[in-house]
Structure 1
Amino acid sequence: MASTVVIVVAAITAFWLILYTLFGKKEVDPETGAPVEKEEGLSVDFLVAMWRTKRLLGFIDRVSRANRRFWKVYSDIGIALGYMGMACVFFMLLTTALKTLQTKESPAGVQLVIPGVTIPLWYGLIGLAVVMVVHELSHGVVARAEGLPLKSVGLVLLAVIPGAFVEPDEEELLKAPLRSRLRVYGAGSLANVLTAILAALLISYAVSPLLTPNGVEVGGVIKGTPADGVLQKGDVILAINGESTKTMDEFITVMNKTKAGETITLRVLREGKELNLQLTLAENPDNPGKGFIGIHPVQHVASRVGHEGIVLPLFFALYWIYVLNIGIGLMNLFPLVPLDGGRMLDDVIKEYLPEGVARPVRYATIGIGLFLLALNLLPALLNLAG
């Protein structure tokens, strides 16, 4: 594990050294000698690479002009969603943080999104790409519908985290009326939530009818439990003691018949081969006296119509598009600058409170936000390190 981490860190370091050597030189204003940000092309700074282009600006203009009234209503909904989502996310993170402080436990709060590590690689990359594209395009279209100029669109790489952006003219944005700014800020998360709803509808009404339950998959093995060393992540449990466990309900029903200390036989599908495995159950921590295997069970599915190489990837791609859009879209409304929720709250504070009051309120908001975020990120960081 340690050697793998060293190799990965070395590879990332080498990549950035090469990239900075080739593209890190900044253009300089001949009159002042000050660095000039490139309007187009690739620019590289310390662990930040940005590729800008103006080619999509015409497309964004055409979309924004198609029905300006629609985009204004759309973005007003985004403002309402923004403040409701802000309150919801703040409450959830506050509740989790208080539980952490009171019980000294570390319940799940903010989850890290790292394709290939904390989420599946390819489905994660597809989901993140959709998140970024719809989020940034929504910002850009609403900005143009409000008459605000855009400088460029492009892609960004922050260390190892890819992203996309629409770059408004910040000076013009700051001069715009408060409602116009709020419309721009709220539009991104609204697009993510609408995309998540669309993905959920496609899963429910187009893809799920093509699927059938086909066992309980081992989503993960808990260390130090009976399953540790016997079952592997990705195994599919088809039966326990000869009783079918094709659905989660069947799995729960069978496990409720077992007792701690009992030895059971599992019929497991592993890499296309069926195996019979035995293990002795521990006591279920949530149901004393009952048996406990020590896995994170996940419903495994198969296609009713065949073509599993198409149906199943489509299902999982839509599932991760749904999960990442709803999760990242709402988390982006957390009231902490530079997130959109933070900018929405910050602009309202500056607009309606006198400077002498607004400044301490803003600092208090930043401090509380960072504290809550740290408490909620801690379990995810510990899990990643452990």
Structure 2
Amino acid sequence: MNFNLIIAITAIIGFWVVMYALFGRKSEGIELEEEGLQVDLFVAMWRTKKLLNFINNLARKWRKFWKAYATIGIVIGFVGMAFVFYMLFKTAMNTLSTKAPSAGVQLVIPGVTIPLWYGLIGLVVVMVVHELSHGVVARAEKLRLKSVGLVLFAVIPGAFVEPDEDELKKAPLLSRLRVYAAGSMANIVVALLAIVLLNYALMPVLAPSGVEITNLDSSGPAKDFLMKGDIIIGINGEQIKTIEDFLNFMNKTAPGETIELEILRNGEVKHFQITLGEHPEKEGKGYLGIYPAQSLKSKIGFDSVVLPLAFSLYWIYLLNWGIGLMNLFPLIPLDGGRMLDDLLKEYLPEKVAKPISYAFIGIGLFLLMVNLFPALKGLIG
């Protein structure tokens, strides 16, 4: 197992031991159920009512808009549900038939599987808009909210808006579907806004400036020479500006060939001669053993402002799009699962609706396991 992963797991367990010792043994009165901090085994929830007035005002002023918005969300929700189910089913079948695992679901862990700070920014935006949208639509439907808050499940942060479940269950089907669909609808809208801003406001002022090394293959030839964060700007005297430039050059190389790399490291240019290995997936092709990413620079200067803004928008787009769609997967307790379950119960007899719901749960869990296995295997190493 990866040594860094062992350290991380130990730190996480230590954190929860301290949290449970400090907060997990306090009495839980009625007020604590709707406000305050509650800590259970690997779950911490903080509830408050302080934001409820803001949500009430937002819903009351534009009630018709929010209902129309959420109705569109229902349509997008069922289309997204079918799309996600199909893609995970297709990936799982390909994996089982070819025995070549490909991850249909990626783990989202800031600092491990995604960049730490940009990942955290993206996740915060995902949680805030998702839960705020649930809450505003619930109030537009005149459903009571008990509290809002933050949750930490092991290492996964989250936010929530807590409606009155009894009122929600008694509400008309259309109202319930609007509330369920509102969260993913918000994520998809934010994702589209972020990619429009990125493509039309920031990309025109960005230029490719080489290929950044995001990671190194521990068995590749580059590991003894290069470092994470190095930027390849030339190979054998040929300028490298884009990933396409890099891939086009590497596709012409052969195992055993020695190439000279021009690297930008902490603002200083360095040169390395590296003998290539054989590509593990392309016989007869040279292999450097790096994980490349496009390096960018600002055409107008202010790199310390323009680049972080561009990367933040990119991760806001990617995480809102991916998590928003994944939340529509027809598996309870995801919103997609609740939408499908309520729809089946509304229009089918219970003896028919229940078996169909259970079938989706069984198939859904199977598809998730098959699609998650490659990502888990890669994380454990």
Q: TM-score range by the shorter chain?
A: over 0.9
Partner of 2:78: 83
TM-score by length of 2: 0.94
- Does 2:240 correspond to 1:245? yes
* Counterpart-to-counterpart distance in 2, 1:14 and 1:237: 40
2:18: which partner in 1? Answer: 18
Residue aligning to 2:352: 357
Aligned equivalents of 1:294, 1:4: Cα separation in 2: 21
Question: What are the superposed Cα offsets for residues 133-153 of structure 1, whole Å, 9 maximum, x if unpaired?
Answer: 000000000000011110000
Equivalent AA in structure 2 for residue 214 of structure 1: S
Cα distance in structure 1, aligned partners of 2:91 and 2:2? 31
Decide whether the 8 Å contact of 1:221 with 1:228 is kept in 2.
Answer: yes
Give 1:37 shift. 5.4
**Aligned counterparts, 1:1-386, within 5 A:** 4-25=4-25, 27=27, 38-284=33-279, 289-386=284-381
Q: Are the aligned partners of 2:2 and 2:380 in contact in 1 as well (CA < 8 Å)?
A: no
Q: Distance in 2 between matches of 1:21 and 1:14?
A: 11
Conserved 8 A contact 1:185-1:340? yes
Greater Cα offset, 320-329 or 296-305: 296-305
Q: Residue 296 of structure 2 aligns to a residue in which SS?
A: strand
Question: Does structure 2 conserve the Cα–Cα contact (< 8 Å) formed by 1:26 and 1:37?
Answer: no
Cα separation, 2, equivalents of 1:238 and 1:87: 44
In 2, are the aligned partners of 1:27 and 1:36 still within 8 Å (CA)?
no
Q: Which amino acid aligns with 2:81?
A: M
Residue 250 of structure 1: how far off its partner (Å): 2.5
RMSD, matched Cα: 1.9
* Long gaps (5+) in structure 1: 30-34
Distance 2:282 2:40 in 1: 54
Paired residue secondary structure (1:105): coil
- Note the C-alpha offset of 1:47: 1.5
Q: Per-residue CA shift, 1:237-269, capped at 9, x if unaligned?
A: 101100001123322333344334321111011
Offset of 1:64 from its aligned partner?
Answer: 0.7
The aligned amino acid for 2:128 is V
Output the CA distance in 1 between the equivalents of 2:243 and 2:372. 30
SS in 2 for 1:216: strand
* Gap runs ≥5 in structure 2: none
Q: For residues 123 and 249 of structure 1, what CA distance do their matches in structure 2 show?
A: 25
SS at match of 2:112: coil
**Superposition deviation, residue 304 in structure 1:** 1.4
Between the aligned partners of 1:342 and 1:108, the Cα distance in structure 2 is 22
Which segment is superposed worse, 355-364 or 288-297? 288-297
Partner of 1:32: none
SS state of the match for residue 277, structure 1?
Answer: strand
**SS of corresponding position for 1:38:** helix
Alignment deviations for residues 28-62 of structure 1 (CA, whole Å, 9 cap, x no partner) = 67xxxxx8852111112221111111111111111
Q: Relative to structure 2, which stretch is displaced further, 11-20 or 363-372? A: 11-20
| Structure 2 CA distance for partners of 1:214 and 1:382, relative to 1, 3 Å | same
Worse-superposed segment, 267-276 or 179-188? 267-276
Matched letter for residue 10 of structure 2: A
- Whole-angstrom distance in 2 between the partners of 1:3 and 1:281: 28
User: Do 1:50 and 1:154's aligned partners in 2 also have CA atoms closer than 8 Å?
Assistant: yes
d(CA) in 2 for partners of 1:350, 1:303: 55
The Cα of 1:358 is off from its aligned counterpart by: 1.3
Letter in 1 for 2:20: Y
The amino acid that maps onto 1:18 is V
Aligned length in residues: 381
Question: Match of 1:61, SS?
Answer: helix
- 1:289–1:136 CA distance, 2 compared to 1 (3 A): same
Q: Deviation of residue 307 (structure 1)?
A: 1.6
Q: Alpha-carbon deviation of 1:78?
A: 0.6
Is contact 2:5–2:380 with CA below 8 Å preserved after alignment? no
Percent identity between the two aligned chains:
62
